[in-house]
């Protein structure tokens, strides 16, 4: 850890906190080949950005992300802004020779995502790396599920069931935020939550979706305008303070069926209207010899079913994924001591630093992010045509 890897983080809301925590913690628990340094935090408001930098331990703050590109001492640009700005910042950073991490979904449109993937491919020729932040695949139980499926523990995959359920928009008077405006977010729950379950299903199964049939629905078409604090409306942001309402221009519910490359069927549901569900991402993969089942609200456990066991011993087994042999866990606490949501971001930082130091492509790549964007686009096009089956890409 002799050589520093200096980070500029663009954005400091909910994801900014998660990424800041990751950069602080990763070099203290993992033996990294480079030393991450939290050099620069970028935001729109100078006073709030400076306060956030002081709170989380960033050395400097700025209101201009281009400053990070002009500085020779910045090695990595980490992007956690709303999707509308991803393409401009990421492409400029890559062209400037900076390594890039970009939060999911990669962009707001397929065209933007393709331009980003092309920029990453150009940069890779000069040893510059880019990665999209699908963090849930780095939770130990989810990574263990991937390893079990890849190792043949459940036999041939036959069916996939994935859902991501939240309820923070059930109240029709919850305030309007950028997440509910198409020009800023691209799509609603489809891109916000649906992207996660698409990536996780493809990662765990090792298969890509080939065609989809989907339905999108907006259940509340207007919401009160938030106060002027600039905080994120929703996910713990401000309540509305006035009577004026703004239009919701994205989807609240996304339902779709998918067919993977080899014909395996999957069902997908993403909603922010599931009353009583706070952050319920669930994935179950059924195979000829068994099954795996993961639940984000019980993230230290993976359920495994062995169909080859004697009938009197069959049944889902709850595996507590906290042993040193489990993915990432050997750097943390003694067996049985649970990890949390934020640890996935720490693992992401570790993997990214190791890839940069080793000159290898980190996963998921911008090309992977483009493919997920193509799935999202195909679901939208299918929904616009009465759920007709629509090829991906």
The pTM for the full model equals 0.94
pLDDT at residue number 227:
73
Q: Are 31 and 9 spatial neighbours (Cβ–Cβ below 8 Å)?
A: no
- In whole numbers, what is the pLDDT of the chain averaged over residues? 95
Residue pLDDT, tens place only, 176-185: 999 999 999 9
Q: For domain 4-133+360-364, which CATH number applies: 3.30.420.40, 3.40.50.720, 1.10.443.10, 3.40.50.300? A: 3.40.50.720
Alpha helices in the chain (DSSP H): 14-29, 46-56, 66-70, 86-95, 110-124, 140-150, 182-185, 189, 195-205, 343-358, 366-384
pLDDT tens profile 222-248? 999 987 544 444 555 555 555 799 999
| CATH class of domain segment(s) 137-339 | alpha beta
Under 8 Å between Cβ of 273 and 172: no
Q: What is the pLDDT of residue 235?
A: 57
In the chain, the N- to C-terminal Cα span, in Å, equals: 42
CB 390 within 8 A of CB 212: yes
Write down the domain spans for the chain.
4-133+360-364, 137-339
- Sheet with 209-217: strands ordered across: 317-320, 301-306, 290-295, 280-287, 157-165, 265-271, 253-260, 209-217, 390-391
Q: How far apart are CA 393 and CA 390, in angstroms?
A: 9
| The predicted structure's pLDDT at residue 233 | 46
Tens digit of each residue's pLDDT (9 = 90 or more) over 190-208: 999 999 999 999 999 999 9
Q: Tokens 């409306």 correspond to what residue?
A: 233
pLDDT digits (tens, 9 = 90+) for 63-97: 999 999 999 999 999 999 999 999 999 999 999 99
């Amino acid at each position: 850890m002799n050589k520093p890897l200096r980070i500029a983080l663009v954005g400091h809301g909910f994801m900014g906190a998660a990424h800041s925590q990751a950069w602080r913690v990763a070099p203290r628990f993992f033996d990294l080949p480079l030393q991450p340094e939290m050099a620069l935090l970028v935001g729109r408001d100078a006073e709030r950005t400076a306060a956030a930098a002081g709170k989380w331990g960033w050395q400097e703050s700025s209101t201009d992300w281009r400053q990070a590109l002009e500085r020779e001492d910045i090695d990595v640009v980490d992007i956690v802004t709303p999707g509308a700005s991803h393409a401009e910042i990421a492409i400029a950073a890559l062209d400037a020779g900076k390594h890039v991490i970009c939060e999911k979904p990669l962009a707001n449109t397929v065209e933007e995502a393709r331009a980003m993937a092309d920029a990453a491919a150009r940069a890779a020729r000069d040893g510059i790396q880019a990665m999209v932040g699908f963090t849930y695949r780095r939770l130990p139980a989810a990574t263990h599920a991937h390893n079990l499926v890849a190792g043949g523990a459940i036999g041939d995959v036959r069916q996939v069931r994935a859902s991501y359920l939240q309820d923070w928009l059930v109240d029709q008077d919850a305030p309007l935020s950028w997440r509910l405006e198409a020009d800023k977010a691209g799509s609603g729950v489809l891109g916000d939550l649906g992207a996660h379950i698409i990536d996780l299903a493809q990662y765990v199964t090792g298969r890509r979706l080939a065609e989809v049939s989907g339905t999108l629905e907006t259940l509340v078409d207007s919401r009160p305008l938030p106060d002027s604090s600039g905080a994120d409306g929703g996910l713990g942001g401000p309540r509305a303070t006035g009577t004026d309402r703004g239009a919701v221009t994205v989807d609240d519910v996304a339902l779709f069926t998918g067919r993977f490359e080899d014909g395996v069927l999957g069902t997908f549901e993403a909603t922010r209207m599931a009353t009583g569900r706070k952050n319920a991402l669930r994935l179950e993969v059924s195979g000829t010899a068994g099954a795996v089942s993961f639940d984000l609200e019980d993230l230290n456990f993976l359920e495994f079913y062995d169909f080859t066991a004697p009938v009197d011993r069959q049944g889902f087994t709850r595996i507590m994924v906290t042993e040193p042999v489990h993915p990432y866990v050997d750097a943390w606490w003694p067996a049985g001591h649970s990890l949390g949501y934020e640890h996935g971001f720490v693992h992401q930082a570790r993997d990214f630093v190791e890839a940069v130091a080793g000159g290898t492509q980190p996963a998921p790549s911008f090309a992977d992010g483009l493919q997920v964007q193509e799935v999202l686009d195909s679901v939208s096009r299918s929904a616009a045509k009465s759920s007709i089956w629509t090829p991906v890409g």
